[in-house]
Structure 1
Amino acid sequence: MCAKSLLLLNRKSAVRSDVRSIVKSLQKEFELDVWVPWSGKQTRKLIKQAIKGGTTRVIGAGGDGTVNAVANAILRMGVADSVDMGLVPLGTANDFARAFGDDGSDPESSLRRAITGESKAIDLGRINGEVFVNVASGGYGAMITATTDVEIKRRLGGIAYTLTGISRLSELAPTKAKVTLDDGEVRDLDLTIMAIGNSRFAGGGFDVTPLADVSDGKLDFAMLAPPGLVEGQPDLISIFERDDPTEAFMFRAQFEKALIETNTPYHINLDGEPMVDTRFEVDILPGALRLVPPGKG
């Protein structure tokens, strides 16, 4: 017998006719309550109400931001020991689900698996007290994501980021930083573009942290190497001309705890949620969430 489940749909997914049909069909087979939360506060309220009614599984249906919102809600409420989380990838990138082999092309199979599959404990990353499930990316791209005008995004969609990025290319410059991994040696680095991965993919399928594993108790740190660190001193253009851009130009390390201090405010994007600061305390939360691994069938 399957657990009673709560399905939380993001607003964009909720208006898709195929998604609505799939949900109605599976509600005939399984005990599945469906809601479309409008805020993090409402998400927590719905989860609290569902748990009182006997729900033991909460399923997030949407993109990586939805994954982050549901995981954060479960963690903040202190119910991670008694509630499993499922995932139906319905976003644009679906980077977290991609690492498990689910590209979001079969929502019905994904939802069925989220309802019926077995859960396993996975790690979560944390920066300055804020949790992320997939990847925290930093630098130029995170700055563009955080500073693109909301009205322009509403009118133009994804192309708004491209236009903003082009207009601010002059600001693409390294940030001086001190990085300490696992209380060890302090490294002076020129941060350009970096990623801290609990899982592997970001930016719509780029394997930015290929060593990352959600159950190994470590985070994977990767950054665009400063000139001289790797042979050939590559520039940004050459990165995209290579067959394997992720391997040749990255400084990589794995860690459980890190401190990143920058001379100027630095932008980081946690599963789509922006953060800007000059001091970032990073650590891993081993086995903090019980997840039904995404997949088809």
Structure 2
Amino acid sequence: MLHLGHTLVIANPASQSGAGAEGAEFVRRTLAAYGSATDGFDVRLTTGPGVATQMARAATGFDTVLALGGDGVIHEVVNGLMKIGEARRPRLGIIPLGSGNDFARTLGMAANSPERSLGQLLQGVAHRLDLGIVNGTYFDQTLSFGVDAAIALDTMERRQRTGAHGTRLFMASGVDVVRHQLRSWSHRVRFDGGAEQDGDSLIFAVQVGPTYGGGFRICPEADPEDGLLDVCFSHGSPSAAAALAILARARVGRHTGSRYLGFRQASSIVIDFAGEPPCQADGERVRGSHFEIGVAHRALEVIRPTWQF
């Protein structure tokens, strides 16, 4: 059994339509029952946006921080932990309880089952993983601009409005955005300090891990331990039908041969857009038109499972 040491649980009670509160109570009972798993623990519930970041930032003195909730809470906790100096920074474990769960998918964690994911954590192994960083904000999984970002943001709004979740939700948003908001975004980009390149893209995705949107394998070869960001970008002028076909194939990573897509890796990217594009990092909206993007190699110690369901 992995010893978690002094442990802080940061839980979003509202995740999964209130299932987060029940999940937090399950974790509390389980850690209390298995006293040898920790050197004491504290469970704290978030009350709104940004609170998880504040809690994680103040987590000096803890050995492990467990984030319970969806991708948004995990994103907040990651950014809070990265405010702590490396020597004092707790390691991260996640108990994924959300609709996207893309970081959990990269790690191999069981989603929407606190019993299973906590079991994986207690028998897991800590690895140092890469993070992306954009204009000073860290992202653990995905950063995207353009149509795919518009879909991700629309998905989040639909989820809050309807309670729907999963792949069907992402596809419903995708169809609506492609039909009514299909446009490309002019940009000038520099990879790894090289020559500036002008482009015009519907899609520009920067990945630490392979998936976004609840399992769409946009960059199938992305590896969170290789020190590189994987980039998928579109070129040319695909029709709405072609864009929808690309989206559908991306669900299983079969879009990579499309003549409308390019792929590359980089450790630093500077991109300027002619206007402000839709932009999201781990599902959270990012504003601006100038973006400086990098990778923080092996920046955060994260518990990964040794077995999967």
Q: TM-score with structure 1 length normalisation?
A: 0.84
1:207 aligns with 2:209: no
Alignment of 1:224-243 (within 5 A): 224-227=234-237, 235-240=242-247, 242=249
Question: For residues 223 and 66 of structure 1, do their structure 2 counterparts lie closer, same or farther at Cα, with a shift above 3 Å needed?
Answer: same
Partner residue in 2 for 1:274: 285
**Which whole-Å deviations, capped at 9, do the CAs of 1:81-129 have from their partners, x for residues lacking one?**
5411111111112111112323415422311333453312111101111
Within 2, Cα distance between the matches of 1:281 and 1:241? 30
Partner residue in 2 for 1:191: 201
SS of corresponding position for 2:227: coil
Question: For residues 21 and 247 of structure 1, do their structure 2 counterparts lie closer, same or farther at Cα, with a shift above 3 Å needed?
Answer: same
**Which whole-Å deviations, capped at 9, do the CAs of 1:13-66 have from their partners, x for residues lacking one?**
494346633541332113332111224654355446654xx4210011111112
Within 2, Cα distance between the matches of 1:97 and 1:60? 11
Within 2, Cα distance between the matches of 1:118 and 1:200? 21
Give aligned-pair identity as a percent.
Answer: 26
Alignment of 1:17-166 (within 5 A): 17=22, 20-30=25-35, 31-39=40-48, 42-47=51-56, 51=60, 54-78=61-85, 81-104=88-111, 106-115=113-122, 117-143=124-150, 145-146=152-153, 154-158=160-164, 162=172, 166=176
Question: For residues 59 and 118 of structure 1, do their structure 2 counterparts lie closer, same or farther at Cα, with a shift above 3 Å needed?
Answer: same
SS of corresponding position for 2:14: helix
Partner residue in 2 for 1:181: 191
Deviates more, 1:108-117 or 1:41-50: 41-50
Question: For residues 248 and 148 of structure 1, do their structure 2 counterparts lie closer, same or farther at Cα, with a shift above 3 Å needed?
Answer: closer
Q: TM-score with structure 2 length normalisation?
A: 0.81
1:293 partner letter: R
Q: CA deviation at 1:226?
A: 2.2
SS of corresponding position for 1:235: helix
What is the root-mean-square deviation in Å for CA atoms of aligned residues? 3.3
Within 2, Cα distance between the matches of 1:67 and 1:208? 20
1:222 partner letter: C
Q: Which has the higher relative contact order, 1 or 2, with Cα contacts under 8 A spaced 6 or more apart? A: 1
- Of 241, 255, 272, which aligns to 1:261? 272
Alignment: residue pair count: 291
Partner residue in 1 for 2:301: 290
Within 2, Cα distance between the matches of 1:95 and 1:217? 19
Within 1, Cα distance between the matches of 2:65 and 2:305? 13
Question: For residues 44 and 177 of structure 1, do their structure 2 counterparts lie closer, same or farther at Cα, with a shift above 3 Å needed?
Answer: closer
Q: What stretches of structure 1 move > 6 A for 4+ residues in a row? A: 147-150
Contact 2:145 2:278 (C-alpha < 8 Å) held by counterparts: yes
Q: Which has the higher strand share?
A: 1
